[in-house]
Structure 1
Amino acid sequence: MSRPLVSIISVNYNQEAVTLDMLSSLSVYKDPLEVIVVDNGSVNNPEKEILRQFPDTIFIRSDENLGFAGGNNLGIDRATGKYLFFINNDTEITEGLIECLVDFMENNESAGGVSPKIHYFDEPGVFQFAGFKRINILTGRNSTIGTFEKDDHQYDEVAMTPYLHGAAMMIRNEAIQRAGKMPEEFFLYYEELDWSESIAHTGYELYYVPCGMIRHKESVSTGKNSPLKTYYLNRNRILFMRRNHKWLSRSIFLLFYSVISIPVNLLRHIFKGEREHANQLLKAYLWNFSHEGRVNGRYKY
């Protein structure tokens, strides 16, 4: 008996070859798939080559870069599957991954979304993700369980997680109808954490499900240490805390960030000769004083 339809949604941005590798890896799944690739305003339109190699793909072209959330939301608008599996274009799935996630969701109606075990692509057998810990109200940061550990089956048990991992997250379509689409205000980074909060707020549970594994080529689009990454990580860290924490914890965070975190990190970038990183850090901080934090209706700034 075949499983319910799964819609694969992946966003491409100037990484045609990487996206083609991801699409090729989907061939290990034998049940029906609806594969949606959203091109987020790449310089060179990859439509011709993607459809030549994978003619059943639903290709959506945006003339501008709408960010991670905006691109995925275009895919959501076209998806018809019972489950939507959002995977980064810089990932490759392994055999049995989709089957095990679907089976878990089918057997756990309270599950709104799941993320699988994630390994680093360039370091076989080494964890990137085995679940998340909650955001620290002082720093606005959270830690990933298992990162850089060798996989010796120490994280082979299903566990609830406060957040799904944006590189690979299967979400029940019904949960999206309740929670709404990805928050486009973030553009890049922290959007999946905010979305996880919205899904959990509707009453669904989120899980780490380790019976399948995906390999992730981390930070292909933005670079491992780019000013762009510095800007959006810091801008959106503040935005997330403004949107998802009540006044006391939000105030504690903003005080710590303003008095300690920003000065320390500005000096660190300057001493390392990373002046553009310092500029982007300051720009990220100031952005939050001119933009409203509330758009999800849960808490107000």
Structure 2
Amino acid sequence: MEPHLQPLVSIIALNYNQTNVTCEFLESTKLLTYRNFETIVVDNGSTVNPTEQMNAGKYPNLKILLSEKNLGFTGGNNLGMQHAKGDFIFIVNNDTEVTPDLIERLLEPFFKDDKIGVVCPKIRFFHHPNVIQYAGFHKMNLLTGRTGAVGSREEDKGQYDGEGPTHCAHGAAMMVKREVLDKVGMFADKFFIYYEESDWSARIIRAGYTIYYNGKGLIYHKESITMGKESAIKAYYHTRNRILYMRRNTNKLQLTSFLLFFTFFTFPKSVLKYTVKGQFEHLKSFLRGTFWNVTNSSYSTI
């Protein structure tokens, strides 16, 4: 595909009781210099219907999909992708603000290499606008089941302005070629939230595609630089999906090593931490997340 063809881009963002924040994101899209796009906002069962407020903003080519319940990050984005018409799908958090040339920057690598399936921009913290959140991901540590973002919390001095393959896409901002959806499928719904982009990235890479980082593209994310205190629900999904990711994306030897590490290091450490801090709801969530993988021993690899 040639750059001058200006392919249709479908921008997908989720809204859950954050209509004002979502409208701030939509306002930022008015500044995009690339104009051949549609925007799909999936409302994940908010207590107040956001349609009237969003339509009042007169955002171009906006489609609002209302879900009766919270489908999570996976289900909400999957619903949006089912309705998307674009040649490329830009999955983006509603608590971000785009920069004017972002779409062009994200599309550039696709025109150079047919094997590129996903492109992500540099992500900086909105409230600390010169501090990096993401400039690619390090390789997943198959012993611990954890990874980290390249450049995380570093001051941006241009050290990550380059481009190249990376190990994982970031769910806050990822441009996906439609061909990938057709051949790999969408997010695995069972993740709901957390580790879903890691799982999808692993499947995309196994299908022969490259996950790519383009540091010339930039987006600002309103997530706190300190990430705040871990909630009990986050403890549940992080624990559950960390194990689930490893079950789906490792061989028997790698999985055995991880389970030994989790059993003899992570499990006792986490139980002790939550007990000492008196975080008994967190402890219950951690245990629920762990034993979910025992009671749900069968799973699909797609």
Task: Please tell me the TM-score bracket, short chain as reference.
Answer: over 0.9
Aligned residues: CA RMSD: 1.6
Aligned equivalent of 1:87: 92
CA–CA separation in structure 1 for the residues paired with 2:17 and 2:11: 19
Does the 8 A contact of 1:40 with 1:67 survive in 2?
yes
Aligned equivalent of 1:52: 56
Aligned equivalent of 2:41: 37
For residue 213 of structure 2, the aligned residue among 198, 208, 211 is 208
| Worse-superposed segment, 123-132 or 29-38 | 29-38
Aligned equivalent of 1:182: 187
Shift of 1:288: 0.5
1:19 aligns with 2:29: no
Amino acid at match of 1:200: I
Amino acid at match of 1:243: R
For residue 285 of structure 2, the aligned residue among 280, 286, 289 is 280
1:197 aligns with 2:202: yes
1:75 aligns with 2:75: no
Does the 8 A contact of 1:100 with 1:211 survive in 2?
yes
CA–CA separation in structure 2 for the residues paired with 1:265 and 1:59: 41
Cα–Cα, structure 1 residues 234 and 244, in superposed 2: closer, same or farther, change >3 Å?
same
Aligned equivalent of 1:236: 241
Aligned equivalent of 2:7: 4
Cα shift readout 1:1-26 (whole Å, capped 9, x = no counterpart): 56211100011111111100111111
- Trace 1:149-168 onto structure 2 (pairs within 5 A): 149-168=154-173
Shift of 1:291: 1.0
CA–CA separation in structure 2 for the residues paired with 1:183 and 1:268: 31
Cα–Cα, structure 1 residues 248 and 166, in superposed 2: closer, same or farther, change >3 Å?
same
SS at match of 1:209: strand
Cα shift readout 1:71-108 (whole Å, capped 9, x = no counterpart): 00111111111110000011111121111111222222
Amino acid at match of 1:54: K
Cα shift readout 1:277-301 (whole Å, capped 9, x = no counterpart): 111111110111011353125xxxx
Cα shift readout 1:116-165 (whole Å, capped 9, x = no counterpart): 00001111100000111111111100111100100001111112111100
Amino acid at match of 1:41: G
Shift of 1:199: 1.2
Does the 8 A contact of 1:120 with 1:128 survive in 2?
yes
Cα–Cα, structure 1 residues 19 and 34, in superposed 2: closer, same or farther, change >3 Å?
same
Q: Which runs of 5+ in 1 are unaligned?
A: none
Percent identity between matched residues is 44
Amino acid at match of 1:11: L
* TM-score, with structure 1 as normaliser: 0.95
Aligned equivalent of 1:253: 258
Cα shift readout 1:30-61 (whole Å, capped 9, x = no counterpart): 32111000001111111111122135311100
SS at match of 1:185: helix
SS at match of 1:228: helix
Figure out how many residues of one structure are paired with residues of the other and give that number: 296
* TM-score, with structure 2 as normaliser: 0.94
For residue 267 of structure 1, the aligned residue among 269, 272, 279 is 272
CA–CA separation in structure 2 for the residues paired with 1:20 and 1:293: 41
SS at match of 1:211: strand
Does the 8 A contact of 1:35 with 1:58 survive in 2?
yes
Does the 8 A contact of 2:125 with 2:224 survive in 1?
no
CA–CA separation in structure 2 for the residues paired with 1:237 and 1:278: 16
CA–CA separation in structure 2 for the residues paired with 1:149 and 1:142: 17
Cα shift readout 1:242-275 (whole Å, capped 9, x = no counterpart): 0000111001101110111011011112212222
Runs of 4+ in 1 over 3 A off after TM superposition: none
SS at match of 1:126: strand
CA–CA separation in structure 2 for the residues paired with 1:196 and 1:293: 21
